[in-house]
Structure 1
């Protein structure tokens, strides 16, 4: 089966590198910018610095686009470029204490019940907090696979670890979320057959996490 998103990215990349197409560059930027920032933020724990690093990577790619015609997987190349700059940033500013923040909030809307909407906000904020507190390498693996849609081998290549290690990190992340979900489920937030309860568990089940 053809990996359509990667095919599209490769087409945009080739348009940039071979045809100097600024529109394709803008599309490439908008498709990957947020994911790259989230990835970078996981390494350096500073939103503004992550945005600057990703911006610098895109500028560098545009400036040397003619030299990048050989790149066959632009997504992997960009993630690797961001990773390298992020690690350099950490080395340069390791003496600074950087603040961490929660990941962007995900909300399922149930307008018919304002109380349930508040419950959902609390649920996902707490879940984001659990994810954000995963060990750095585990968090990187989890986000690259679940948020960026990378394959295990792609993550292994990017982080310079084995696919088995990637699998181990994913298993640990999912186990941590499963344990939290089981503890959360014991609290009296949702009725047993509540529509909201069902939606939340279907959402987490899609990640392979069951209470």
Structure 2
């Protein structure tokens, strides 16, 4: 059954106008995990990201009466989390971007071979390693679009860049991932893992052309 996306604007209105705590809790459940992962892209520590996200939500509740002008609460919260994460980075300098465990990684068909699961895990590690080679901005753009399904315009508003720059960074990310994963394929002599890598590289190519023609600003 397809999950229905909650009406975030409606929840926001109830929070700001009616002081509705249940709507506030619903908003947190809808966006909390996404915002946590987004913060980790910057600060690298899950515990720190949890504090940042919690602080942002607490401030939103305290300032709710002054926030009725917000039309897109999702973008508003992403920007707030980004700003708080950057503030933390400025305070603590030696920080590197890392990736949390992803429950929505590319999936492949299971086979009857028990070693298939191990090979798939190895492939996911290769994908994570390939993503980690991307420049910071390209990496964040790729993750926001891939994991959160955001449009160019939404990502542009969050990162304070133009939609065209978002598109350019995404294409650069996909191109580099195809190159890196292609090199893994050349070094991998095990047929099953190689086939999965080929599938993934082809999949990234399909994403590239799909986004060129179908993604709306």
* Structure-1-length-normalised TM-score: 0.83
- Return 5+ residue gaps in structure 1 as ranges: none
Partner residue, 1:189: 190
Is the Cα contact below 8 Å between 1:45 and 1:98 reproduced in 2? yes
Separation of aligned partners in 2, 1:182 and 1:133: 14
The runs of 4+ residues in structure 1 deviating greater than 4 Å are: 191-194, 196-206
Q: In structure 1, the residue corresponding to 2:207 is in which secondary structure?
A: coil
Partner residue, 1:137: 137
Deviations along 1:97-152, one digit per CA (max 9) or x if unpaired, are 34654431437472733211111111011101211231111111111111111111
Structure 2 vs 1, CA of residues 193 and 38 (structure 1 numbering), >3 Å: closer, same or farther? closer
Separation of aligned partners in 2, 1:12 and 1:76: 14
Q: In structure 2, the residue corresponding to 1:29 is in which secondary structure?
A: helix
Partner residue, 1:103: 100
Give 1:208 deviation, angstroms.
3.2
Deviations along 1:34-81, one digit per CA (max 9) or x if unpaired, are 111111111222221111101100111111112111110000000011
Structure 2 vs 1, CA of residues 101 and 83 (structure 1 numbering), >3 Å: closer, same or farther? closer
Is the Cα contact below 8 Å between 2:40 and 2:49 reproduced in 1? yes
Give 1:200 deviation, angstroms.
4.7
Structure 2 vs 1, CA of residues 114 and 157 (structure 1 numbering), >3 Å: closer, same or farther? same
Give 1:189 deviation, angstroms.
3.1
Separation of aligned partners in 2, 1:90 and 1:52: 14
Separation of aligned partners in 1, 2:28 and 2:67: 16
Partner residue, 2:75: 76
Tell me the C-alpha RMSD between the 2 structures: 2.6
Is the Cα contact below 8 Å between 1:33 and 1:54 reproduced in 2? yes
- Return 5+ residue gaps in structure 2 as ranges: 210-217
Is the Cα contact below 8 Å between 1:146 and 1:207 reproduced in 2? no
Of 129-138 and 54-63, deviating more is: 129-138
Q: How many residues align?
A: 202
* Structure-2-length-normalised TM-score: 0.81
